[in-house]
Amino acid sequence: MGRMKLLSNVINNATNQVEGFCLVKSVQLKVNVKGAEYLDFVLADAEGEVNAKLWDYQPAAHGSYSSGEIIKVRGTINLYRDTEQLKIERIRKLKETDEVELSSVVAEAPVNGEQLFKELYDFADTFADDELRSLTRYLLSTNKARLERYPAAVRLHHAHKGGLMYHTHTMLSVAKKLVEVYSKLDPELSSDLVYAGVILHDIAKTVELDVGPLGLASAYTVEGQLLGHITLGVSMIRTAAIELGISESKAMLLEHILLSHHGVPEFGSPKPPMFPEAEIVSTVDTLDAKLFEMFDALSGVEIGAFTDRLWALDNRQLYRHGLGVIKADEDKKE
């Protein structure tokens, strides 16, 4: 995510003090070197997030807070290891009398999750392969409520309401173009297997992530921590295939795509992609995640400037060259 809107809502230029409403993404009670308790927050709004500290925490005076709550804070922006950090000076929970536009606090995908789900579900109905069509639509329908609103992560790429469907939908759009090109080189390339793999590759995020009513993930579930969405997804496919009478060989191909879609062991995949369709799914997944991070980071810097070093992108700094600005402005006019 980019820079929080809250951090631009300065109420005192002399002290760099800001004030506004935000979401508690996570909060932990910690103890400093002197033995004093403090709260360590990750706060967010629709535009970004920031680490925040409430020093000398006193429950009776400050109240208690949990992930998923909307709060109002006042604090001072400091730099810690070249990264912005908010020192909280005043904090309270949201009141019924507060007038807050939820869309300004909760980040959402640019396209409605329900709409994207319907498009994916309808597209799966076009598969020529009966078994892949049946299996894909079954797993979509049995996870519909969560898929329509779940994010794709706790943090980093597509970690917003509806982000899981948005990520999957974008991947499918890219995969269609690749299939169009590479099926001409190898007519044996199975488009249905590619598309089923794309649609189902993150299906178990619906089990892995602990998501609140606002559609944001605050943590991982016990299953998510112990097993992860790759292992959970393989299990979901195996169970569904048995229930539907899908051939073991067909289910195994999809299971391999899920096992290999992170590419290498250090990113969670016990197997590398071992057939072309699996390679396409893995490559498109990586590409979409990285480009999302790039677009998001570059949106917060001026033309001709560099971003901070980005942990999610191998500690790279990105450069905003600005060559596409004129074209983007022309497209808006049209």
Domain boundaries, the chain: 6-104, 113-293, 301-333
Helix, strand, or coil (residue 140)? helix
Same fold, 6-104 and 113-293: no
What does the pLDDT read at residue 160?
Answer: 80
CA atoms within 13 A on the CB side of 25: 25
Angle between the N-to-C axes of helices 248-260 and 191-200, in degrees from 0 to 180, rounded to the nearest 10? 60
Tens digits of residue pLDDT in 240-258: 999 999 999 999 999 999 9
Which fold, 113-293?
A: Hypothetical protein af1432 (1.10.3210)
Tens digits of residue pLDDT in 195-222: 999 999 999 999 999 988 778 787 899 9
Q: What pTM was computed for the model?
A: 0.79
By the 8 A CB rule, do 295 and 288 touch? no
What does the pLDDT read at residue 81?
Answer: 77
Phi/psi-derived region of residue 302, left when phi > 0, alpha when psi is between -120 and 50, beta in every other case: beta
Average pLDDT, the chain: 90
**Would you tell me which CATH number, out of the four given (2.40.50.140, 3.20.20.70, 3.30.70.270, 1.10.357.10), belongs to the domain 6-104?**
2.40.50.140
| Residue 67 pLDDT > 90 | no
